[in-house]
Structure formats: C-alpha cells, structure tokens
Amino acid sequence: MPQDPGPVRVDDKIRCDACPVMCFIRPGASGACDRYANRDGELIRVDPHVVLQHAVAGGGTVVPFNASAMDWDGNIVGEPQAFVTAIGAGTTYPDYKPAPFIVSSEIDGLDMVTVVTEGIFSYCGVKVKIDTDRHVGPERSLVRVKGEPVGHVSTGEYGSQMLSLGGVHHLTGGSKKEGRATCDAMMELCNGGAVELTVDDGVTLIVQAGRPPVVNGVPEERMRVGCGSATIGMFAKQWEGKVDEVVVVDDHITGVLSEHQAGKLLGIPETGIKIVGRRSTPGRYFQVAEPGTGWGGTNIQDPLAIIGAFDPKTARPGLSMLFTSTTGEHHAYYVLDEALRPVEQELPADLRYSVELIRENCEPALATVLFMGGAGGSLRSGVTENPVRLTRSVKDSLTVVTCGGAPVYVWPGGGITFMVDVSRVPQGAFGYVPTPALVAPIEFTLRLSDYAALGGHMDQVRPLSEFRNAGDHRRQVPQMSDNPWPLAHDAARRLHA
C-alpha cells in the first residue's frame, strides 16, 4: 500500500485532505467544514473523538469523561466495556487510505475488530415521519427551506405524513444554493435541531427529532388512535346504549356505528343517516371531504357537511348522534328535532368519557428523523482492499454495522445502504463537507479472522488497550440506555454463528 506522505504544506498553511475540497488552512484557522484546523502547524480534528462507555453489570453509573479532566486514570478505555465510535475519528479520503481507526478487542473469548470511519455521504437523505392527521400537502409536492427545494412529500401512512428530504439530486443536481440549503437542513435535523419547512400547496412545518411537529404554527399533541373504522371497532361498546349513532370523521376511512360490523354485532339499529362520500364496505366511507387541517385531516369545520338528509322511514325525532375525530380533538353532539334536523346540544357526561378515552389511547405526536446513506467506494476501501467482500460480509451477517454505536437497518439488495434513527446517535455526530455532502459515523464490527479473510488492513489493527491517553483528544460518553451494546456477548455469538 502506498505510504501516506503526510499533509502538504505551503508556507505556513496546511492542505487538509479529509475531503475533495482540499482546503489550505492558515495557523489558527479551520477549514470550510469547521471540522479540521491548523493548530501551531499541526492539522487537528476540532471536535473530539467519541468513545462509548458501557454501564457495568449490577446497575453501576457512568460518568461522562471530559478530556480535560485530570483525575482520569486511563483504564476505562482499555476495558471491554469501551466501544470506539467513528464520531470525530476522521475520514478515509482519498480512497486508498485505511480507516482512521481499526481497533481489536476480545469479547467472550473471541478476537474481534471494529473498523471506524466518518463517511462522506453525497448519496444520502433524510426520511421524516410526522405524526399528524392534518394534510401537509399533496404527494410529490416540493418541500422547501428558505425557498430552496430540499425534498418532497412522500406518502400518508397510518396517522403519519412522510417526507423524503435530501438525496444526491438536491445536493449536487441543482444550484449551489439548493445544495447548501439541503445539506444544512439535513445536518441540523440529524443533529437534533429544529428546521422550518414549507410545502408547495401545503403547510408550514417545524420539525425536530423526538419533538411534536408544528403545523401552521400549532403544535400537534397526539397521533390518531386509528382510522375512523378502527375507532368504531375499538370503542363501539363504550357507546352502546348511550347514543344512537356515532360518526368518526377521517380523511381516509370515515366510520359509521350503525352500519359498521361492530354496531351490527351489538344490535345497534339503523338510524337513516346518509353519509356524503364513496361507500366502501358497510360502515366505512372514503372521500367524505377534501384533505385539510380540519376534522380528522379533512378540510371541514362543520361535521354536518358530510351528511345528507335523514331517511324519514328510519330516522326519528330525538335520535342522538356523536361526531368525533380520530384523536377526539374535535367532537360534537346532536339530537334530531321534529323535522329530522340535527340540533347541537351539550355533550353528555358518559359520552364525554368515551371521547376522553379516545384521546387517552392516542400516542403523543412526534417527528421521527431517519438518516439514510449508502456506503460507497471510499468508505469500503478504508476497510478492505477488496470492497465487495465487505458488502458480502454485511449481507451474510458476519459484520455488524452501527452508526455512532447506534443500531442501523441495512437494506436488502446491492450495496450497504443503511438507515438510523438520529435520536439514538450521540449528540453532534453528523457533520458536513462543502462539496456539499453529509459526514456520518459508521462502524463495522466482525471477528478478527473474518476481517483478515476479507482482505482487511491488518497492519493497521491497534489493540483497544492503546486508547488510554487522555490528551489524545478523546471524549468518553455513556451508551444510550435503549441502544444495544455494539460489543455485547450475544452480538459476538451472533457473529460467531
């Protein structure tokens, strides 16, 4: 393998080769990415390299390690409970360079190795799940940040709206301004920040991972319990004997108690109600209104807008009706007068309980942000001289992939395309290079013998015990409690199987 000649120097400047921009950095200054700097003639990484500390068995507590602390004895990094992440480790550009850190350790009697690198992801995106019934915009509508297109509305799922942001076409296929806006928005979202988005022919959103989404300035409180039909099925017994008819208004499937199978099984008689919409199966109606931000994700503010005249052969004066949305946020109670016209009245206490029960069964509305990237040539070459063997090793479950120590989902098919919930990755794990591209941590853990077999850079393997110097710009942080430990014994056995 060619020897790395070290950084190029021109006068007092150092050329950084961590990405294709190749900044020349003056003393005391940092590069365009703000991640590398020239300190007294030495090229350094500005933010520290993160090592995860696993809580010891028996409920021991973990104290975050600060590199400036003077009372650290250096031993904890040498223990099996330490995991060297790629956060702050550096990149592998150009392609032939080995990964910045290739660390060996012994786990449950097995010799293991973890290869860590910060990947430069031009081919990456962010998938955003927004828990709301409100219509955010038509599918395929552009999503913008400060007027620049950064993605599009994808699909409406069960109580959520999906956005697809980023991707190589927005990063590099449009104007420089579009690429910068896309990169900045994705990095802010991946690092847990809030981003304001506007949807063409839709709403304004404020999205932040793990926080309630804000739709047109109004924070969402709850995710719907189910569609209108499902709500009828779940709560039909709550209404038996207390009200004659219930309509659960929903943009997708509006439910009607007296016609629904649940009502039939409970012996609810017909009420003569007529729903404006396309009847699907008994008690289930599509397209009762246009999508919007009103009742049940429709554009209506008055629930009576979705019903026609009552059938006088079946309906009767005094017939009572409850209208509710799938979250219980909207509800109204009516009684038919002598002319079979609905007259709104105060909601009885026993029906108020059922509405509160719907609200109670709705989970809190949150925004979820998933980073999605493909591990390409530069990244894989940093692991092995034969990159396709790494891909096969991942597909064969011989290699476990993590992102900053967090579990990932690796997509089937070709390549190493993975997704990670950014809320499970340590704070500040994502960076950027001004090409533009996102920089994300990625680790590959496998048996040392398997690493040798796939053509790994064996001459670069360093034992975990070498990671002891507190002055080596490292920061120890506790592993998130809901994340599996990357070097757990069961993981080691899985790799050994």
Rounded CA gap, 108 and 451, in Å?
18
Could you report the per-residue pLDDT of 15-64, keeping only the tens digit for each?
A: 887 777 888 888 888 888 877 888 888 887 787 888 888 765 444 333 33
Tokens at 94, concatenated? 């150009």
pLDDT score recorded for residue 282 = 95
Domain co-membership, 269 together with 392: no
Instruction: Answer whether residue 4 is part of any domain.
Output: no
Domain co-membership, 233 together with 355: yes
**E strands within 243-366?**
245-249, 254-256, 278-279, 284-286, 320-325, 331-336, 342-345
Largest Cα span, the chain = 96
pLDDT score recorded for residue 398 = 93
Instruction: Answer whether residue 467 is part of any domain.
Output: yes
Instruction: Answer whether residue 330 is part of any domain.
Output: yes
Torsion angle of C-alpha atoms 260, 262, 267, 268, degrees rounded to 10: -50
Domain co-membership, 234 together with 212: no
pLDDT score recorded for residue 30 = 86
Domain co-membership, 242 together with 353: yes
Domain co-membership, 204 together with 234: no
pTM: 0.85
Domain that holds residue 466: 47-122+376-496
Domain co-membership, 386 together with 275: no
pLDDT score recorded for residue 466 = 79
Rounded CA gap, 417 and 371, in Å?
11
Domain boundary among 199, 223, 247: 223
Domain co-membership, 191 together with 212: yes
pLDDT score recorded for residue 300 = 94
Instruction: Answer whether residue 383 is part of any domain.
Output: yes
pLDDT score recorded for residue 496 = 40
Instruction: Answer whether residue 60 is part of any domain.
Output: yes
pLDDT score recorded for residue 4 = 56
The number of distinct structural domains making up the chain is: 3
For residue 473, what is the enclosing H or E element? none
Domain co-membership, 280 together with 325: yes
Domain boundary among 203, 223, 243: 223
- Give pairs for 41-44: CB < 8 Å, separation 24+: 41/12, 41/14, 42/14, 43/7, 43/14, 43/16, 44/473
Domain boundary among 334, 360, 386: 360
Domain co-membership, 457 together with 385: yes
**E strands within 394-448?**
400-403, 406-407, 409-410, 416-421, 431-433, 437-447
Under DSSP, is residue 333 helix (H, G, I), strand (E, B) or coil? Answer: strand
pLDDT score recorded for residue 171 = 94
Domain co-membership, 89 together with 138: no
Instruction: Answer whether residue 30 is part of any domain.
Output: no
Domain co-membership, 154 together with 185: yes
Could you report the per-residue pLDDT of 197-207, keeping only the tens digit for each?
A: 999 999 999 99
Domain co-membership, 76 together with 195: no
Low-confidence spans in the chain with pLDDT less than 70:
1-7, 55-80, 95, 468-472, 489-497
273, 242 contact by CB (below 8 A): no
Instruction: Answer whether residue 281 is part of any domain.
Output: yes
pLDDT score recorded for residue 472 = 60
Q: What does the DSSP 8-state code read for residue 78?
A: G
Tokens at 477, concatenated? 């942080």
Instruction: Answer whether residue 16 is part of any domain.
Output: no
